[in-house]
Chains A and B, each alone.
Chain A
Amino acid sequence: NAGVTQTPKFQVLKTGQSMTLQCAQDMNHNSMYWYRQDPGMGLRLIYYSASEGTTDKGEVPNGYNVSRLNKREFSLRLESAAPSQTSVYFCASSEPVMPYEQYFGPGTRLTVT
């Protein structure tokens, strides 16, 4: 039982390049989330998927797209990376019922030069 897995763990991109961050969970959770963590800012929600087949914008969606490929997988795509997207990205999953406890992946450190 791996919980929530993310690939890659580290990535360096040049401005304008694209990439997809992958996330998978094996807890049969319905809801999945993508956050970014920046120094002094806490975790901010980028996009979430309440259930398979649905996605919604969070607090900071600009510059990102997501795909809920199936119940297990939720990917985050940067179409044209910018230095402002340098951050640590976390994927999380939960059941959409109380207590709404979220389980996190190990994170991806992305640097855009």
Chain B
Amino acid sequence: AQTVTQSQPEMSVQEAETVTLSCTYDTSESDYYLFWYKQPPSRQMILVIRQEAYKQQNATENRFSVNFQKAAKSFSLKISDSQLGDAAMYFCATEGGGSNYKLTFGKGTLLTVNP
């Protein structure tokens, strides 16, 4: 079974600065996907970024990028030039690979952005 650990229940960042959210996971598969979802106060779950474990290159989406370390089973999210609208709960999730298409989520990190 997959497990996902987010060791930072809460983080804060100043507007325009950079913050990194940590995530570690455990899986026995060799190819799988990893995701970061954002949940703002509206409660809607929004996909921020995804990474295929087969690919060495770290995924980037505008101000969001990941640092994927496959051997260490680490998948951190970096938010650059933080904006007030980035304030949200962030969830790391993994899909187990193979025929397992279910997602396993971490417990989340609550990000506060200070003006």
Contact = CB atoms under 8 A, between A and B. Distances in A.
Interface string A13-45: 000000000000000000101000000111111
Given A43-B91, A98-B52, A100-B33, A31 B43 contact: no
Contacts, number: 50
Interface string B101-112: 111011110000
A43 B37 CA distance: 11
Interface in B29-53: 33, 35, 42-45, 47, 50, 52
A100 B43 contact: no
Interface size on B, as a range, is 20 to 34
Contacts of B91: 42-43
Interface of A: 31, 33, 40-45, 48, 50, 58, 88, 90, 92, 94, 96-102, 104, 106-107
When A and B form their complex, which 7 residue pairs have the shortest distance between CB atoms, in order from nearest?
Answer: A104-B45, A42-B107, A42-B105, A100-B95, A43-B105, A100-B101, A99-B33
